[in-house]
Amino acid sequence: MNFAFYLISGLAVAGALAAVLLKNTVHCALALTVAFAGIAMLFLQLGAQFAGFAQILVYIGAVAILVVFAILLTRGSETPRDGVYSKFPLTGLAIAAAVFAVLGWAVLNSASALPGAETTSAAPTVTVMDIGNALMSRYVLPLEIVALLLTAALIGAVIVAMHEKEEAN
């Protein structure tokens, strides 16, 4: 494994840890952006150019701003009165550690059977044309469904978060 992989995954994991552990919620959101950037760089390292840039565009460009706006709208940036962690933080950590242990065990044991072991094939050069063709040929149905889902979700989100008129007066 080359040095770049360790560097980038270190960045991603550090960002994720900071996003989860920091006290100040806005700092968490900014750390989350670092984690997203790390994951996007991992995508690029894996040769998935389109997915990497889509990740940057969607997550860093929109979701991070959305999270930060939500934090400000719900006055999250002030220090919470009763502590940052929920009532049973230890059990949560224990469960997460257990999950990681199981996943890690599964990955390590199956290391030999995984396909990537022998064929150190060069990264498949995926052009945007192929993605376009795939989207329009094999994945045209999922594309339409995702389009519908996105529209419905966003309109729903706006209605849920909208300020009711009658509540104002």
Q: Between helices 3-21 and 25-45, what is the axis angle to 10°? A: 160
- Candidates 4, 7, 79, 84; binder of another protein (CB under 8 A) is 84
**Angle ∠(33,35,41) on CA atoms, nearest 5:** 105
Q: Between helices 128-136 and 140-161, what is the axis angle to 10°? A: 90
- Candidates 123, 136, 140, 144; binder of another protein (CB under 8 A) is 123
- Candidates 7, 79, 85, 144; binder of another protein (CB under 8 A) is 85
Q: How many CA atoms lie within 13 A of 107 on its CB side?
A: 7
Site for another protein in 146-165 (CB under 8 A): 146, 149-150, 153-154, 156-158, 160-161, 163
Minimum Å distance from CB 45 to another protein? 9
**Going residue by residue from 22 to 61, which x/- string records binding to another protein, judged by CB under 8 A?**
--xxxxxxx-xx-xx--x--xx--xxxxxx-xxxxxxxxx
